[in-house]
Structure 1
Amino acid sequence: MTGKDVPGLLEAQSSIPQGTRINVTFLGNEDLEMRVAAAKAVKEAGFVPVPHVSARRIASAARLEEFLAALRDVGATDHVFAVGGDPETPEGPYASSLDLIRSGLLPEYGVKEVSIAGYPEGHPDIADDVLWEHLEAKATALRDQGLDAVILTQFGFDTEPVASWIREVRARGIDAPIRIGTPGPAGIKRLLGFARRFGIGANAMIVKKYGFSLTNLMGTAGPDRFINDLGALVAADGAAGDIGIHLYTFGGLSATAEWARKFQAAA
């Protein structure tokens, strides 16, 4: 959710199991007060807030400490997501989430677990070898600080690249839980728009596996087939470890929560 989604959170509250982790984004057009208020609302609604900390949007160490202190004051620093962020030029001293983690400030403000990004289908602006180097370095830096790690991935439509990437993560000795980014139910055009924006493959074969057709873009699509197929691949891999999903609510919190409730009930 974003800082503006508190009304949507309250609307969806009864459909979301208590204790669910809900990420709160760090958008450039929202301020500290909005982000903290959203994290507080998540906490008060009985869920676990996971506020994003966008490295390249933080102007100084003092601003980072101000944000972490404000989150701590509302009980929202146990879990955070350290992410690089969009600006091409960093606004302050943190050029990457690795720089943010290496600052050593997170545990000083009560952080116990840090989510870090994974890219099963790569990143449009970052070479694969750099992505792997940073993932390994972040996992090491968190372990050295006594912090738990969770790898939260960008979303995708195809299961084979995801399964292959999971095997590579484990082969590199990284045993952190992995949460595979999965688009919740949303309009097909909207899903494809997000895919193009983030450089995710969306060719005819992939979208067919996800369960919709490029020739009919007027409807909506859900992740049922993707999750079932990925579950089968993970179950067949005895070394996959702790694997789950993270739902991106492109179609809204209520629609995603209701889909998840029905999917679980039918399982």
Structure 2
Amino acid sequence: MGGPTSGRRGATARLLTGPRFELLPLPGTLDRAVALPPGSTVTVTASPRLGPEATLALTEALSHSGFRAVPHLAARQVTDRAALAATLERLDAAGVRDVFVVAGDAREPAGEFPDGLTLLRAMAELGHRMTSVGVPSYPEGHPLIADDVLWAALRDKQRHATYTVTQLCFDADAVCGFATRARARGVTLPVVAGVPGAVDIGRLLRMSVRVGVGDSARFLRSHRSIAGKLLRPNGYRPDGLVRRLGAHVAAGRCAVEGLHVYTFNQIDATLRWVQQARRRTAA
């Protein structure tokens, strides 16, 4: 008979099955992406500096290469409904059926969409052929938005969405706590846990500050001894984080549907970690 350990391993194995891989639309990314398993779900972030074209071009290339490509549609980068309609038509022609709608990092909107909810409503009014629509959520809150506002927005968004991905977080307890609170607050969207891949810790911390991660990033910066342990030749590995998530799921403390891995384009290292973690879990 299986005990708590086998239950945790089983839950962890399920989380590691078919993770989503997030990429940045930088030069050379497509060449690195070919290392990922065929048919993988690969998301492409939106960059205020590079603009929407970089995201759309990489999304099209990934889709044509056999991946399930998922572009981030940043509301603040969309100028008007005509531009939104053109984007949706372009994605449809490329065979894209999943999009991830965010507000975006631009300080000022380029047009009539200041946030993700307004873009989702416009998409619904225009009509689209997407079968999946994701929206972000924040286990540790947002540095610029009050918690009550975040919860209200997520409840409003869920009528237009099919899943939510949590923002990058190092804390399995925070992710699990968020998933539990979401159900209590009337959010029924499946929760996909956003976790860091196997990456260089310095780069990870810099990106953490940029995307607004809260306590976990501050914890690593302020606890030099722990950060020092992470400064290894192989970089950061999220083994403990994923095992603890698996333990929470196995114990019925929260429902997490899968993993969304923030690779920061360190694809080879992250893929090796996923493969090794699967083997260790199955051992």
Normalising to structure 1: TM-score of the pair? 0.86
Equivalence for 2:65: 45
Specify which of 205, 223, 226 is matched with residue 241 of structure 2: 226
State the match for 2:170 in structure 1: 157
Note if contact 2:230-2:236 (Cα within 8 Å) is conserved in structure 1: no
Deviation at 1:34, TM superposition (A): 3.1
**Residues 1:178 and 2:197 are matched in the alignment:** no
Closer, same or farther: CA 158–125 of 1 in aligned 2, 3 Å: same
Q: Give distance in 2, aligned partners of 1:205 and 1:19.
A: 35
Provide the rounded CA distance (Å) in 1 between the counterparts of 2:125 and 2:62. 20
Q: Is the 8 A contact 2:48 2:106 kept in 1?
A: no
Q: Determine the structure 2 residue equivalent to 1:266.
A: 280
Q: Say if 1:11 and 1:193 are closer, same or farther in 2 by CA, change over 3 A.
A: closer
Runs ≥4 residues deviating over 4 A: 203-208
Decide which of 24, 27, 34 is 1:13's aligned counterpart: 34
Aligned-partner Cα distance in 2 for 1:259–1:37: 28
Q: CA deviation at 1:128?
A: 0.5
**Separation in 2 of the partners of 1:186 and 1:125?**
27
In the TM superposition, what is the alpha-carbon distance from 1:92 to its structure 2 partner? 0.8
What is the one-letter code of the residue matched to 1:231? Answer: G
Indicate if the aligned counterparts of 1:8 and 1:254 stay in contact, CA closer than 8 A: no
Question: Which amino acid in the other structure matches residue 91 of structure 2?
Answer: L
The alignment partner of 1:50 has SS state of: strand
What residue in structure 2 maps to residue 145 of structure 1? none
Tell me: CA distance 1:199–1:35, structure 2 relative to 1, closer, same or farther (3 Å): closer
Deviation readout 1:156-197 (Å, 9 max, x if unpaired): 111222111110111123222211111101112222222222
Distance 1:244 1:164 in 2: 16
**Structure 1 letter corresponding to 2:177:** S
Offset, 1:236: 1.2
Aligned-pair distance for 1:2? 2.9
Question: What fraction of aligned residue pairs are identical, expressed as a percent?
Answer: 33
Look up the equivalent residue of 1:27 and give its one-letter code: S
- Tell me whether 126-135 or 18-27 shows the greater mean CA deviation: 18-27
SS at match of 2:162: strand
Shift of 1:12: 4.2
CA deviation profile, 1:111-143 (whole Å, cap 9, x unmatched): 121100010000111111000000000012x1x
Distance 1:261 1:106 in 2: 42
Alignment of 1:52-63 (within 5 A): 52-63=72-83
Tell me the SS of whatever aligns to 1:103: helix
State the AA in 2 paired with 1:150: Y
1:86 pairs with 2:105: yes
**Letter aligned with residue 277 of structure 2:** F
Counterparts in 2 of 1:207 and 1:235: CA distance versus 1, 3 Å: farther
Instruction: Determine helix, strand or coil for the equivalent of 1:114.
Output: strand
Q: Secondary structure of the equivalent of 2:158?
A: helix
Q: Is contact 2:98–2:130 with CA below 8 Å preserved after alignment? A: yes
Q: Deviations over 1:175-224 (max 9, x none)?
A: 2221111110111222222222214223448998xxx8134564311101
- Cα deviation for residue 32 of structure 1 reads 4.6
Match of 1:22 among 34, 37, 42: 42
Deviation at 1:105, TM superposition (A): 4.4
2:255 is aligned, of 233, 236, 241, to: 241
Do 1:56 and 1:89's aligned partners in 2 also have CA atoms closer than 8 Å? Answer: yes
SS in 2 for 1:131: helix
CA distance in 2 between counterparts of 1:63 and 1:107 reads 11
* Distance in 2 (alpha carbons) for counterparts of 1:107 and 1:20: 29
- Please say if residues 9 and 253 of structure 1, whose CA atoms lie closer than 8 Å, have aligned partners that are also in contact: no
Instruction: Tell me which residue corresponds to 2:18.
Output: none
Q: What is the RMSD computed on CA atoms of the aligned residues?
A: 2.3
Q: How does 1:34-183 map to 2 (within 5 A)?
A: 34-76=54-96, 78-105=97-124, 108-140=127-159, 142=160, 149-183=162-196
Measure, in 1, the Cα distance between the counterparts of 2:273 and 2:195.
Answer: 13
Give per-residue Cα distances to partners, 1:77-119, cap 9 Å, x unaligned: x100000011222111111100111114477231121100010
CA distance in 2, matches of 1:32, 1:207: 36
CA separation in 1, counterparts of 2:51 and 2:207?
24
Does the 8 Å contact 1:207/1:213 carry over to 2? no
